[in-house]
């Protein structure tokens, strides 16, 4: 057996050692209402072979994006990841401990994190980036908390095009710090009233670009309005490939960029793990959460890498830490760096142009399907369509035909009747004309 269970004597010895009569005594602090009154209805224990068969059978019920036309997006995108990426990140040198507390034995880890930071800073148009965070949603929440520290204000305005998961994560973390969140209503047409919400109490304005509904916008007027009121502009990017085609947030005046890097080097994997990107202007570097790797020289003049800043609770008194996130997505950051290095600048721009061209092609084909209206005037590789009827049942019907046809907005914005007919559709370099034709034909049949 690979896993050896405890015997009754083992359990008795452990309970006697800690001074309790029964396992139940370990849960006395849990409210009785939260305790189960009977066993969960699960199959009896089985051997390893039987368990593997059972899980394979369950897994077979899923419609795999690699085996079907896939138009899923809404913050997690299917891109081609070169085989080289997985081959390199699985080398033993990279599968060691990810936290480089001892730089003298962690030069490889520190160097790739240094390169990662450089890439993120270049992509976002910012001066400095950290060594990654958990994901884009926690990066957005950290950006709001950082803005509050910088401005000494406690109100954050969130745009209507911010991903619902990012908004909820931000609201959750802000609630423990007494920060006020002013969230605009979902804006499927991209026309939210952000300028009127910025005042002298505003610490930051959080704007996603491209937005949740796919709209692309110029952040410059918003940055100017924020700075006129002494607030910071936080730019959120959920599709990092878009920065191969759009102006960098830093070039448009953003003070903090919080982004998701999953699209480079990291597969969908049922939603994780992913990698949060975080970049700031130089003047705010000491308020940046997470870790910062830097370059130096040793006693003999050789180049070396160190943790230049690391104001996390593992390295500094808890009340002095800029963040209580206890780790970063080290291996995912490495995959990001390898993929981007393989692409190079021109390859990355070409990938972005290809994504945009695929989305234009798909939008044109969908516009020709009776009953479907494309709502976006601007988009990168994702846009919103109005199906004229509830989108969720349509998506289920498409899945029954072997097509992952997009994400109903109602799934992420539940309980809002005006959004029930809306469907988010994403096209990447993985979608061929045959995929698009299959989706359009299936939609004609389902609608």
**DSSP letters of 385-415?**
EE-SS-HHHHHHHHHHTT-B--EEHHHHSTT
The H helix count followed by the E strand count for the chain is 11, 13
pLDDT number for residue 328? 63
> Closest Cα to residue 238, out of 169, 323, 183?
169
Residues 6+ apart with CB under 8 A from 447: 369, 370, 371, 372, 387, 388, 389, 394
For 305, the enclosing helix (H) or strand (E) is strand 303-310
- Asked whether the CA dihedral 368, 369, 375, 379 is positive or negative, the reply is negative
Q: What's the token pair of residue 309? A: 């800043």
pLDDT number for residue 2? 55
Q: Give CA–CA dist 56/190, Å, rounded.
A: 43
| Residue 229 · residue 194 · CB < 8 Å | no
> Closest Cα to residue 412, out of 189, 201, 186, 203?
186
> Closest Cα to residue 445, out of 402, 399, 397?
397
For 273, the enclosing helix (H) or strand (E) is none
pLDDT at 29 over 70: yes
Distances from the Cα of 125 to the Cα of 257, 268, 274, 446, angstroms: 9, 26, 22, 44
Domains of the chain by start residue, with CATH: 83-340 (3.40.640.10), 344-446 (3.90.1150.10)
Q: Give CA–CA dist 351/244, Å, rounded.
A: 8
Helix, strand, coil percentages (3-state) for the chain, rounded to 5, are: 45, 15, 40
pLDDT number for residue 1? 47
Confidence band of 310 (pLDDT split at 50, 70, 90):
confident
Q: What's the token pair of residue 116? A: 């990662």
* Range with lowest mean pLDDT among 3-12, 191-200, 225-234, 298-307: 3-12
- Determine whether 370 is exposed, middle or buried from the number of CB atoms within 10 Å of its CB (0-12, 13-18, 19+): exposed
| Residue 329 · residue 336 · CB < 8 Å | no
Average predicted confidence (pLDDT) for the chain: 92
Q: What's the token pair of residue 201? A: 């109490």
Residues 6+ apart with CB under 8 A from 436: 69, 361, 362, 365, 427
pTM for the full predicted model? 0.89
> pLDDT tens digits for 194-246?
999 999 999 999 999 999 999 999 999 999 999 999 999 999 999 999 999 99
| Residue 254 · residue 225 · CB < 8 Å | no
Confidence band of 357 (pLDDT split at 50, 70, 90):
very high
- Name the DSSP class of 248: P
Angle in degrees, 0-180, between the axes of helices 433-446 and 391-400, rounded to the nearest 10: 120
Angle in degrees, 0-180, between the axes of helices 330-367 and 107-124, rounded to the nearest 10: 30
* Range with lowest mean pLDDT among 174-178, 311-315, 397-401: 311-315
pLDDT number for residue 151? 98
The residue assigned the tokens 């995959």 is: 335
> Closest Cα to residue 123, out of 276, 235, 273, 279?
279
Q: Give CA–CA dist 5/238, Å, rounded.
A: 44
């Amino acid at each position: 057996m690979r896993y050896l269970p405890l015997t009754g004597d083992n359990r008795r010895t452990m309970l006697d050692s800690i001074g309790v009569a029964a396992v139940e005594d370990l849960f006395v602090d849990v409210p009785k209402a939260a305790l189960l009154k009977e066993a969960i209805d699960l199959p009896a224990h089985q051997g390893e072979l039987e368990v593997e068969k059972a899980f394979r059978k369950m897994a077979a019920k899923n419609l795999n994006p690699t085996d079907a036309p896939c138009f899923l997006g809404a913050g997690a995108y299917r891109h081609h990841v070169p085989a080289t990426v997985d081959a390199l990140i699985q080398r033993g040198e990279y599968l060691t401990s990810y936290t480089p507390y001892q730089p003298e034995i962690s030069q490889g880890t520190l160097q790739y994190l240094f390169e990662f930071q450089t890439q993120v800073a270049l992509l976002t148009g910012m001066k400095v980036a950290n060594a990654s965070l958990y994901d884009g949603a926690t990066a957005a929440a950290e950006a709001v908390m950082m803005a509050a520290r910088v401005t000494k204000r406690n109100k954050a305005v969130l745009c209507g095009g911010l991903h619902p998961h990012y908004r909820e994560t931000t609201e959750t973390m802000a609630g423990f710090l007494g920060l006020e969140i002013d969230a605009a209503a979902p804006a499927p047409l991209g026309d939210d009233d952000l300028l009127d919400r910025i005042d002298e109490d505003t610490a930051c304005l959080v704007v996603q670009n491209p937005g949740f509904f796919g709209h692309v916008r110029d952040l410059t007027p918003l940055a100017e309005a924020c700075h006129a009121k002494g607030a910071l502009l936080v730019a959120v990017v959920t599709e990092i490939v878009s920065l191969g085609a759009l102006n960098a947030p830093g070039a448009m005046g953003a003070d903090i960029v919080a982004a998701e890097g999953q699209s480079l080097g990291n597969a969908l994997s049922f939603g994780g793990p992913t990698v949060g990107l975080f970049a700031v202007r130089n003047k705010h570097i000491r308020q940046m959460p997470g870790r910062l790797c830097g370059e130096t020289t040793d006693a003999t003049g050789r180049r070396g890498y160190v943790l230049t800043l690391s104001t996390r609770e593992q390295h500094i008194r808890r009340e002095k830490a800029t963040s209580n996130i206890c780790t970063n997505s080290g291996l995912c950051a490495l995959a990001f760096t390898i993929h981007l290095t393989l692409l190079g600048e021109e390859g990355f721009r070409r990938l972005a142009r290809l994504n945009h061209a695929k989305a234009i092609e798909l939008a044109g084909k969908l516009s020709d399907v009776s009953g479907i209206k494309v709502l976006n005037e601007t988009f990168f590789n994702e846009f919103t369509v109005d199906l004229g009827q509830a989108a969720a049942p349509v998506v289920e019907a498409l899945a029954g035909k072997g097509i992952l046809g997009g994400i109903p907005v109602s799934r992420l914005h539940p309980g809002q009747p005006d959004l029930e007919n809306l469907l988010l559709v994403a096209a990447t370099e993985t979608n061929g004309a045959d995929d698009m034709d299959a989706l359009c034909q299936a939609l004609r049949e389902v609608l």
